[in-house]
Chains A and B, each alone.
Chain A
Amino acid sequence: MMIIVQDLKKSYGSFEVLKGVSATIEKGEVITIIGPSGCGKSTFLRCLNLLEQPTGGTIKFDGKVLNDKKTNINEVRKKMGMVFQNFNLFAHMSVLDNLCIGQTRLLGMQRDEAEKTARELLKTVGLAEKADNYPDELSGGQKQRVAIARCLSMKPDIMLFDEPTSALDPTMVGEVTAVIRRLARDGMTMVIVTHEMEFAKNVSNRIFYMDEGGIYEEGPPEVIFDAPNREKTKAFIHRIKSFRHEINSENFDFIGLTNELLNFCVANALSRANSNKAGLLSEELTVNLIDKKDLVGIYFSFPDNQESFELTVTYGGEARDVTQAAGMEADIIRGLISDITYTYDGTNRICMKW
């Protein structure tokens, strides 16, 4: 086992980002970390090479406890490479020098040997002719490939990628993911934080879905992407969009609600038919079927692929299913929706799905 993470905690002041994460990373594995923004993916990655100092727990690399004061972190880092979202090439050095500097200064190699290695690496990433250029003369994709080559020049045991393609425009993503794919094929141990789902799916051994301050769910790509077990994973994978409106009975403003709902639908490119359907259901319930003073809220969600919809209306008062009432309104609802669930847990809840 190359990396063992035990109960890793990281707080910024009073804000706890990582609430005790444990994981193992085996040699030769390619692990991709996905999840919503701000959930600690990058923080976790940066803890692995101690760019962030954990506030609790341990990280072991090759048996050495990284966050132990006695460990010479500089030595350890020589075996770990990191590729950054913003490339971070040394702007005052040529591409060639970027690749040589680590070899000569840190690995004690001779300049000519280092150059040889450097040029080889440049060839493998397809940038041999850019050896004498300076970073500001390269495109984003080229810069990232040089950055990867620079990491490789140190002959690391493991490479960490912190959103390597997030700063690239779509046309350049491909050239970088191609290089990463090749590395994976050649057996490099890698931990990648990315938003590129397709890429993650076919390059990874394991996926970590991070949420709620830790690894919420992990598994092989086919599980995580195609059949996620847990709620949030699902929501993330399916990229569920949701709309929530809480109703303060004094201020129930039908027109306001209509507008908000409409805006949400338009913003998420919902078809007019479905948009109107949601509006109609919501109108009948909130205006006609439920007493204004009992209204609590509306929740409407659907996945990115708009293949299913869910509208939930909650209301107070005594337990009653208003859709069972007689009248035009209830008819409309029942007529439009087949899947209606009524529950009462102190609050009446009507959940409509189509």
Chain B
Amino acid sequence: MKKRRLFLLVPLLLLTLTGCFGEDNLQEPEVSVSPAESGTYAAEDFIGKRIAFATGEAFDIMFEENVGSFIPVHCIYEHEAMEMVKNGRADALILDEPMARKWVLLNPEMEIIYPSFAQYDFGVVFNGENDTLRLKFNDFLREIKENGVHADMTKRWLDTANSPPMPEIVLSGNNGILTFASAGEMEPFGYIVDNRAEGFDIEIAVRFAEYMDMDIDIQLMAWDALIPYVNSGKADFAAGLFIINKERGESVSFSEPYCSGGAVLITKKNESANVFRAEDFAGKAFAIITGSIWDTVLNENIPDAIQVHFNTSPETVLALRQGKVDATFTGRVLSERFKVIYPDLMPLFPAIHEVDQAFVFGKNNSELRESFNDFLREIHADGTYDDMTERWINTFDAPPMPDFPNIGNNGKLVFANTGNNDVFGYIQDGKPVGFEIELGYRFAEYMDMELEIQLMDFAGIIPAVQSGRIDFAGAIIAVTDERKQAVDFSDAVFREGILVTVRKESAVLDGAAADGSAESTGFWQSLKASFERNLIHENRWKMILEGLQVSMVITILSFALATLLGFGVCGLRMSKNRILNVFGNIYITVLRGTPIVVLLMITFYVIFAKTTIGGVTVAVIAFGANGAAFIGEIIRAAILTVDKGQVEAARSMGFSKVGAFFTVTFPQAVRVAFPVYMSEFISMFKMTAVVGYIAVVDLTKAGDIIRSRTYDAFFPLIMVALIYLITASIMIYLLNLINRKTNKRLRRDK
């Protein structure tokens, strides 16, 4: 029986809801609202959106006057408006502030948007002809405000979630009966509990009756009827959250304000919206950049987060988009661009951390640093800084980099940057541009020096500044105490907020759709688009070619050095002298056992720290020394394969030791060693991919830089791999050709 009744209720409810009429709201799909930069919604966010409200008060006019235009969704009752928002047929509703608080407490999935966009006072309405009552009421009001009853009432009715009990007030009714009209549906002002009227307004009315030593007759009716009722004399006074305004005041008599409020918007809290809550991220995986402050931020705020280390910003973004991690960080500045570039990512507000970013200088370079601070003060004062901010940070499209002649009479300033941070320092048309880059050029100009820009991974920048290879660096480096121990910071260059960034629901990226274009484009089309974007646009193929050149030069030089040293190492190993032997063994053990990346960095940052030797030279030395260990062993093994008897035969013919070596051992050893020697060469070619660590732009780094601009995962990586493969194959072919030409026997057999 009961079920059938409920069933009937549903269509009734639906009918009621349709009582809210609005022009378009039934067909419009939900449009999501994004919060302002402050991190929470603001009334301004709802301009042009659908706002529901109960007709009666001039909320629409208030909103239009104070905020802006909107699409009104008219409802008769407040709870209808609430339903509209809950069902998604309106984006927000307007309520009086005290009422709003109560309602939101009862509906925790909603939230109030502060501040109220209109403030006003409420007054009790009296018949215009009976002013005595009204004046008496004002006196009463003053009294309860002074003796704290009003404050207590406010506390009980307006600031709690639960309805307090109506206080028992015994009315004598000696002086007659006061008729009080109330709407009866405005919790917590006037509403019905167990068939009794309760609420703030009700209590005020009852207390007034007590004050007047009268009894009270409470009449409940539709809100629209309240004022006519009073004006017609059927009720003595009425309360219905009437806002005291001039217009209404022409037809009714208001008491003094008995309550104040404001109009606020109430909207749904979007559970998956861009609000950052630390507890949501317990145990989640974060992509962080090695050497940045992000790990400290995590340790302080989300200590049990899993930290996944990457080298560059584009990598962290990619990892997030591909679902490899749950979150990463973005600067507030970039987050704006994210909305367009990565519709699948969502920065969360508020920022988890606010940080000052500054340029770094070596500890013994305080003079330069002071000059920079002076320079900063100057550009702040003369408006250059603001202009730069306007151009780089506040506009969405990348502005053209101003031209700097970059000639200096006082020498060179070496500036390091990662080259892969949008807005601040990135590569365009093969040249570094950005906010920090421009700062660098301007400072150089200020110092009358020439700026030399070196690109390197973030992790290498501070060591490079420390060791004196770089004069100063800027790569959105946050000021931290730990870093201050290694380097000195200039005054703050930029203040940035760090935002936790996540994927929107089900927005995990696969490789092919990494370009952010609609996933429904065909494979060949997206390939063509990738090709264009990664190679043709901004002539990026030139970078690739230059990178390839660098890779090859390093490979060939290192290999030549490795071969030369390799003979030496072999000699040590095969020597009859014990000391030389031991030395050779140590050399081989150390250099074969140390990973090449570590070796490279030790060479660059430790051995050649205080020098001006460039990255390419250092790379050649490191790879050469490393290769020598392997090649030395290759040569030794090859020599051992040669039959000692043949050497004896040569010696017994009269060849000297050296003569026998070059006549007998060497030619045969070479034959044996050649295949392994060749693979060692190819191996070395591939190993050079790590030189990016020491600020050399080789083929891999070039691909990296391109990737940081196009944010493609698939195309640049595959392309770079292919280029390595093709180049290696060509080299193998050439080496084989040499082998064939010099091998008499193979020629004879042809």
Contact = CB atoms under 8 A, between A and B. Distances in A.
A102 B654 contact: yes
Contacts of A90: 646, 649-650, 663-664
Contact of B654 (A75, A84, A132): A75
Interface residues of A, number: 28
A84 B656 CA distance: 19
B652 A81 contact: yes
B653 A106 contact: yes
A132 B667 CA distance: 18
Given A84-B645, A105-B659, A105-B663, A92 B668 contact: yes
B645 A92 contact: no
A320 B234 CA distance: 168
A80 B668 CA distance: 25
A82 B649 contact: yes
Nearest to A76: B654
Contact of A51 (B652, B667, B744, B745): B652
B663 A101 contact: yes
A77 B645 contact: no
Contacts of A248: none
Nearest to B650: A90
A66 interface: no
Per DSSP, chain B at the interface is helix
A94 to B, nearest CB: 8
B649 A105 contact: no
A86 interface: yes
B659 A82 contact: no
Contacts of B136: none
B709 interface: no
Contacts of A89: 646, 649
A91 B655 CA distance: 17
Contacts of A150: 649, 653
Given A88-B643, A91-B643, A51 B650 contact: no
A49 B652 contact: yes
Interface in A64-91: 74-78, 80-82, 84, 86, 88-91
Contact of B649 (A74, A84, A94, A132): A84
A49 B653 CA distance: 10
Interface string B626-669: 00000000000000000101101111111110010001100110
A48 to B, nearest CB: 10
A77 B654 contact: yes
Nearest to B749: A134
Interface string B732-750: 0000000000001100100
Given A92-B671, A150-B653, 13 more contacts: A51-B651, A51-B652, A77-B654, A88-B649, A90-B649, A92-B664, A92-B667, A92-B668, A102-B653, A106-B655, A106-B659, A132-B748, A151-B653
Interface of A: 49, 51, 74-78, 80-82, 84, 86, 88-92, 94, 101-102, 105-106, 132, 134, 147, 150-151, 154
22 contacts: A51-B651, A51-B652, A74-B651, A74-B655, A76-B654, A77-B653, A77-B654, A80-B652, A82-B649, A82-B652, A84-B648, A84-B649, A88-B646, A88-B648, A90-B650, A90-B664, A91-B668, A92-B664, A94-B744, A94-B748, A102-B653, A105-B655
Please name the 6 residue pairs, one residue from A and one from B, whose CB atoms are nearest each other, closest first.
A78-B654, A88-B649, A88-B645, A82-B652, A77-B654, A92-B668
Interface of B: 643, 645-646, 648-656, 659, 663-664, 667-668, 671, 744-745, 748
